[in-house]
Structure 1
């Protein structure tokens, strides 16, 4: 088994851990023919993943958080290599959905002796995502979270609570699968390929990553009592029955907004736009599980 580990050196909170040495130790113990390639800048993991696939590595492993997983996955679309994950982020949404080990030794053993399956991949305005994408409040928080200087769930919650007082819903027009449009408001509009954002926050508990459909979660407004229901639903995986959100399934979604809204892919803020095209590529990515 030829395995390439693409390591984001800035991921994780334990700066004393010698991650390359541990990767090498456990990969060697698993009998893998392996290489370790560190990233040097944002977007570099996508380039390295594509190079690793071209070099014939069977498994290309994202060693980092959801952003690194997204970059490596993007680089592997359309190749013969499979995505592996050694989770070292604050959320680890895709790793958790796929029920991959979160400890480094167990995760390395898994990617060096894997079974394989294929999963769907979403796109929003041409940007691939594998876990979730969305517009509205979650994108707004992801933008500020990236600027916060510290990572982790506690920082995310602090930013979300602070911004909740100021964020207002935006009028939007939505088309699902080419059906007649409907007008509504958007506080959160999430497109879920997997069930959770990360940290076991279940935005779409019924999402199936292989069914060829995105679960679309719409929260039009978020007054205080509904916010409490949504928070509890995210934590317990009961949001679909909480009355806090409306769900649809679709393979193709178009959204038009009256004012520019920010959007994120797999938790990383991208940009603002007034038109969004969201689609699903069925079973587009092979993963090592």
Structure 2
């Protein structure tokens, strides 16, 4: 008997996925599977539900939502023997796409039933885990505006990006890694574990979930025309053409922004206020088991 515990965000994406325990029971025969499901009702609730589920020792815990929900569930599972599964019903679904998990629920369920597992790397920014990406700079402001829009669509993300590009003011930062130190006013400081950031867009197309490295992109302050050019390249999935984007493969990064007291970051597409002006980013190789 395979025990599968589902953590469902009922409002992920458009909120029209209609995932329920009764629906799941139709796809998992009771003679082979024990199915339980919990539903989130607020941000961070998935953490509480996952911690309770872990105590029941399921074989798999399935995160049903977008990258934010997946982050909350997976953060509780790092270093455990329980396997993470994903039903991607969010908006961006960057991590699921990198893992080749389809958005069609029935096909994603087939992946769960097949039971093929792998281990992936996990990123860590101070005390927070990330599985897809994290960012300090304009992308944190973009996510803040995107969340405030109340509309999880690509068009809303683009509007948020345009608005943020006019408003964002870079602050001097010191970035240390591999014995090097870079001093820059970063328009964007983006660190990724996966090759997609959602909506099929990517700043790090060469990133791998299992190479023991993070891909870091540093972009200095830009003129208005350069900002528009960058946006065109990101939407066109051709960031490698943007010459001002510096790419680095890193294991550990230390970031300090002396002019700040707190630093706003985005972590897997959710805004976080980190209550310090110093950030440590690192990689935990192959520390999360996933269904693929």
TM-score interval for Structure 1 and Structure 2 normalised by the shorter chain: over 0.9
Q: Which sections of structure 2, spanning at least 5 residues, go unmatched?
A: none
Look up the match of 2:73. Answer: 72
Look up the match of 1:238. Answer: 238
CA distance in 1 between counterparts of 2:49 and 2:79 reads 15
TM (normalized to structure 1)? 0.93
- Asked if 1 retains the 8 angstrom alpha-carbon contact of 2:220 and 2:244, the reply is no
- 1:3-50 Cα offsets, whole Å, 9 max, x none, are 1110011212144x5310433322349953211111233212122223
- 1:28-85 Cα offsets, whole Å, 9 max, x none, are 4995321111123321212222332331211110001111000010011121111111
Look up the match of 1:149. Answer: 150
Look up the match of 1:282. Answer: 285
- 1:225-282 Cα offsets, whole Å, 9 max, x none, are 3323322332343213431410111110001113333111101000044211111101
CA distance in 1 between counterparts of 2:44 and 2:15 reads 23
CA distance in 2 between counterparts of 1:14 and 1:180 reads 46
What is the SS of the residue equivalent to 1:95? helix
- 1:134-179 Cα offsets, whole Å, 9 max, x none, are 10100011112212222111111111112211212221111013x1
What is the SS of the residue equivalent to 1:45? helix
How many residues are treated as equivalent by the alignment? Answer: 287
What is the SS of the residue equivalent to 2:167? coil
Mapping for residues 1-289 of structure 1, pairs under 5 Å: 1-15=2-16, 17-20=17-20, 21-28=22-29, 31-177=32-178, 179-260=179-260, 261-272=263-274, 273-289=276-292
- Asked if 2 retains the 8 angstrom alpha-carbon contact of 1:256 and 1:275, the reply is yes
- Asked if 1 retains the 8 angstrom alpha-carbon contact of 2:195 and 2:204, the reply is yes
